[in-house]
Structure 1
């Protein structure tokens, strides 16, 4: 298990938009889906490029380079060319802070 790290404020997150937070070792995409906060690695498992700039269609993010699709709730890859799931992270809200469980 990792440690929870504060990566954003609730006010930073909007439904249907991805907020990117950077830590020393990670770039994490965060978004609101209803009352849920989703956090995922900002990299496409197909080629390692940033994915947060891709289109967000509900709980699916589409890689802007090669159109691989991932479910941001589960990390499951939904179409080629990616074959490996997207890392997703546990989140929690503490006051107005959004914390994400990451391993360094």
Structure 2
């Protein structure tokens, strides 16, 4: 799947994760400064929605059991999560955010 426009840049506010649906994939979007990051919305441990968690800088905390993931790399950073979540390429053109989820 090529890059797909998912949201206006102004709708992605720093410190407030946003859920976007790209094809059949739920994607959590995060803004840090002028950058937007995209990861799989489902926690690899508890299948909870990461876009409903608390963002602490470059880390998102799962709302169910407190597992933490680096939003830049998808790497699990805190027990009970140990498996990474997928990350997706993001590009910004003007006021639009595009995400590529691959072969969804």
TM-score, with length taken from structure 1? 0.92
Paired residue for 1:50? Answer: 49
Structure 1 residue 59 displacement after superposition: 0.7
Structure 2 residue runs of 5 or longer lacking an equivalent are none
Note the residue ranges of structure 1 that are not aligned, 5 or more in a row. Answer: none
Give the whole-Å Cα distance in 2 for the aligned partners of 1:49 and 1:35. 27
Q: Which residue of 1 aligns with 2:23?
A: 24
Distance of 1:92 and 1:24 partners within structure 2: 17
Match of residue 12 from structure 1? 11
Residues in 1 aligned to 2:56 and 2:95: alpha-carbon distance in whole angstroms: 26
Matched residues in 1 for 2:69 and 2:28: separation? 13
CA distance in 2, matches of 1:84, 1:64: 17
Query: Any runs of at least 4 consecutive aligned residues in structure 1 with deviations exceeding 2 A, and if so which?
Result: none
Q: Are 1:70 and 2:72 matched, yes or no?
A: no
| Count of aligned residue pairs for this structure pair | 103
TM-score (norm 2): 0.92
Aligned residue number for residue 82 of structure 1: 81
> How large is the RMSD of aligned CA atoms in angstroms?
1.1
C-alpha separation in 2, matches of 1:67 and 1:47? 10
